[in-house]
Amino acid sequence: MMKLKLYSLLAAIAMLPATLLGQNASIHGHVNNAAGRTIPLVNDTLTTEKTAQFKDQKFKYTFDIDANGDYKGANVAPGDYLAIVVSKNTSIDYFEVTLKASEDKQLDFDMTRKEYLDKMSPEDRKALEEYKKKAGEAINANKVVANLNATLSRVREDLKAAAAPKYDDVSKDVADMKAATDAKPDEGILWLTYADTLQAQADHLAKQDKTDHKPVSGDEVAMKDYNDAIEAYNKAIALNQASKKPDPLIQATGYNQIGNAQAKQGKIQEASAAFESAAKLQPTAAAMYYGNEAAVLFNASNNGANTIEAAGAAADKAIASDPTKPMPYYIKGQSLINKATVDKAGKVVAPPGCAEAYQKFLELAPDNPLAPEVKALLQSMGETINTKYKAPGKK
């Protein structure tokens, strides 16, 4: 809070007509310093002691200046005053002012005026220029940050709207986030979001490839976008690691997204390692990261890769982290059913833990589209299916 003190010079009330006696005036205005900014801990005063030294003057009226540099005061007796701006018990600017009965006077203190600057010493002028330079840099930096925050907010909304199953074109968001990282290349969160836009655009191209019955691996543009996304995620991780307060969430998110991008490129082992890194960085969300790893490895096994056992191992980690998620149980069951044998009676003999995993899956997700397949597998093992399974929230 700043204050404005106005000190009167000559009372002159006796000179006013009797009809005006008791009709007080008011005063208001704006105060800024030589750099054009408001001054902290400042007040405005009125005194009638025009010729007295500042230290000897008696302040008849004192008005606060708010954070915007504005002030106002009422019930001021009509008369001639010296209005003084005081900062830290020092007079820094003043004007003579006459207030008439019932008048609302505007009096601004603009210390950027030529008359004020001309009175400054060379040392003060130099200090002012240095201050203005630093203040200008700070203002510009704040504007950049504000613009970047606005871009981040808009791009994130675009990504939500363009996500699966739509996979819309987000090339404009890619360009906007590239410009953002160019403007502030040391900010990890910008690189993280830039990477998200690159991966979303690659997903858009991949969807079109599938529609056109073309292999995604042969789409050079999509593959480049995935590669560029991975590089941007790594940049975000590195910047965060080098910061004063590294955020495990940002790093874990980066590795999780790297895993997703690598899986789409067919780099299954690299994706698995990325998910493992994410889980170690953010143990509280390990179930999600291990679940993603299990799903990627399982899908790869369906496409001919020898990853089904690794999928089961990742599913076990996901279950250990959060036993309430159904899909890891399904993947675990599928990883074990491959080792099943058939006895002489034609009954399927599954390895230990397989039936239990399937039963738990049905318990947690009885309405899942995979449920009929799981029930058929359990029946082939001679297992009794619990028909009391209910979907969560149902009675």
136-145, 236-245, 261-270, 364-373: which has the minimum mean pLDDT?
136-145
- For 283, the 3-state DSSP assignment is helix
Q: How many angstroms separate the CA atoms of 387 and 165, rounded?
A: 33
CA geometry: angle at 372 spanning 366 and 378, to 5°?
90
pLDDT tens track for 69-82: 898 989 898 988 88
227: its two tokens = 């590669």
For the residues of 6-60, what is the DSSP string, one character each?
EEEEE--GGGS-GGGTT--EEEEEEEE-TTSS--TTEEEEEES-SSS-GGG---S
pLDDT tens track for 325-362: 999 999 999 999 988 888 877 788 989 999 999 999 99
pTM: 0.67
pLDDT tens track for 197-221: 999 999 999 999 999 999 999 999 9
| Domains, the chain | 2-119 (2.60.40.1120), 121-246 (no CATH)
Between 138 and 293, whose confidence is greater?
Answer: 293
pLDDT greater than 80 at residue 172: yes
pLDDT band at 121 (very low <50, low <70, confident <90, very high): confident
Between 49 and 297, whose confidence is greater?
Answer: 297
User: What is the Cα 276 distance to its own chain's centre?
Assistant: 26
Q: Identify the bridge partners of residue 90 per DSSP, sorted by sequence position.
A: 87
Question: Do residues 274 and 262 make contact, with C-beta atoms less than 8 angstroms apart?
Answer: yes
pLDDT for residue 18: 37
Question: Do residues 317 and 285 make contact, with C-beta atoms less than 8 angstroms apart?
Answer: no
pLDDT for residue 81: 86
